Amino acid sequence: MNPLIEITDMEQPTLHFIGVAHSNIQGREDAPQNYTMSDRVGILEIYPEYQEGLDGIAAGQTIVVLFWLHKSTRDTLKVYPRGDKSRGLHGVFSTRSPIRPNPIALSELKVLAMDGNRLEVSGLDVFDGTPILDIKKKIGR
């Protein structure tokens, strides 16, 4: 069986945003290069129809959040890592660049407080208004 036929016959995925990030990051020049370098505090607002999914998350925990980088371009496959031209061009899949065919970002955020469908978190590195795709509780450590 030809795997290419199987892939092309598959239904295209449908994504549902479960919420939106609120932060003081308005543009690329203001954004930390990575969540590991960020001490920014903000709010993850989960849409009411998904609030029940927050059960079990508490202040003090670390969560893994997948974001849809809605302002990123999707037509570039080579970038200079962290904008450093001295490092040469690299394929986007070997970098953490937001410029990629499917602009999905992954961040580990510390939950500072919860109030209903709103999570106050630290470590944000995404623009204000960035859609949230998913949240997972970090396991271990």
Please determine, for residue 66, whether its predicted confidence score (pLDDT) is greater than 90.
yes
Angle ∠(21,74,78) on CA atoms, nearest 5: 115
Contact partners, residue 130, CB within 8 Å, separation at least 6: 20, 21, 23, 67, 68, 69, 70, 105
Q: Are 23 and 124 in contact (CB under 8 A)?
A: yes
Least Cα distance to 79 among 98, 66, 106 occurs for 98
Res. 67 pLDDT band, cuts 50 70 90: very high
What digits encode the pLDDT tens for the residues 99-136?
Answer: 888 899 999 999 999 999 999 999 998 999 999 999 99
Please determine, for residue 42, whether its predicted confidence score (pLDDT) is greater than 90.
yes
Alpha carbons 33 and 28: distance in angstroms, whole number: 9
Res. 7 pLDDT band, cuts 50 70 90: low
pTM of the model: 0.83
Average pLDDT score, the chain:
87
**pLDDT for the residue numbered 56:** 95
Q: Which domains does the chain have, with CATH numbers?
A: 15-74+100-137 (2.40.30.70)
